[in-house]
Amino acid sequence: MTEITVPNPDRFRDLRAVVVNTTLKRSPELSNTQGLLDRSIALLRANGATVDTFRLVDHDVAPGVMPDMRDDGWPTDVWPTLWPRIAEADILIIGSPIWLGEQSSVTRRLIERLYAHSSETVESGLSPFHGKVGGVLVTGNEDGVKHVASSLTFSLQHLGYTIPPNADVGWIGPVGPGPSYLDDESDGPETDFTNQGTTFMTYNLLHVARLLKDAGGFPVGGNQPEAWSEGERFGFNAHPQPTQPQSEPTQTANPEHD
């Protein structure tokens, strides 16, 4: 029989999480996505972690892919005040609604502005995102949790986040229009599948954040962009012996790649 293991909350007491809700609804409108995010936030706090949370749509964030779009001609841009809240957190959870099967325009704006910092490097030579972990919570009426989660976890790992197992959690109702997560008739908050997934994702984020923090950040070695651009190749051999069949590898009539 499996021994049930509950982590010691002291284990995570120094970890910081930021939870960004990319709903289209400004406060104080009720956000169903926030309803699901609150479940993870409560569990993070119960485990001793510090949690910061905001809705991106409440803030005047300019379109673009530069760290401060006022340098690019936009009259206002509050992203420079939001970025430090993300940069100092060990864990990022993005909450996204689904519209027509996709993440929202506000979700995409978050990714675009994070992307603006992707070529920055910190003291280790890695990006400000390395050493952090990311996960996604998605809500919608009917369809699209996996598709939205796939795009977002992809974006996060591309930036430098590490993605723990089971970082794609969400709630949707049956196919077609219907109640939303917080509607009384949806039983959203009682959905066992979503509750289990939220719990497991939250702990998996904590676990990997712990490992990376204890390692002093993402391990350095073989992965520094500036070193590569200066000519270091970290043992990469540009012309290795191939594993291809050696006895007359026959390129067939097939004119295509693959």
Distances (CA, A) of 187 to 180, 194, 195: 9, 11, 12
Bridge partners for 55 per DSSP:
21
Provide, rounded to whole angstroms, the least separation between the CB of residue 53 and a second copy.
Answer: 6
**Which position among 14, 29, 88, 120 is part of the footprint of a second copy (CB under 8 A)?**
29
Which helix (H) or strand (E) segment holds residue 5: the answer is: none
Q: Which residues of 210-226 are buried (b: 16+ CB within 10 A; e: fewer)?
A: bebbeeebbebeebbee
Which helix (H) or strand (E) segment holds residue 33: the answer is: helix 32-46
Q: If binding is defined by CB under 8 A, does position 185 make contact with a second copy?
A: no
Residues 102-121 touching a second copy, rule: CB under 8 A, are 102-106, 108-109, 111-112, 115, 121
Q: If binding is defined by CB under 8 A, does position 139 make contact with a second copy?
A: yes
CB 87 within 8 A of CB 51: no
Q: If binding is defined by CB under 8 A, does position 76 make contact with a second copy?
A: no
Q: If binding is defined by CB under 8 A, does position 38 make contact with a second copy?
A: yes
> Quick one: which segment of 76-84, 86-94, 134-142 binds a second copy (CB under 8 A)?
134-142
Q: The tokens of 127 are what?
A: 């990006």
Provide, rounded to whole angstroms, the least separation between the CB of residue 197 and a second copy.
Answer: 8
Q: If binding is defined by CB under 8 A, does position 13 make contact with a second copy?
A: no
Residues 186-215 touching a second copy, rule: CB under 8 A, are 189-196, 198-200, 202-204, 206-208, 210-212, 215
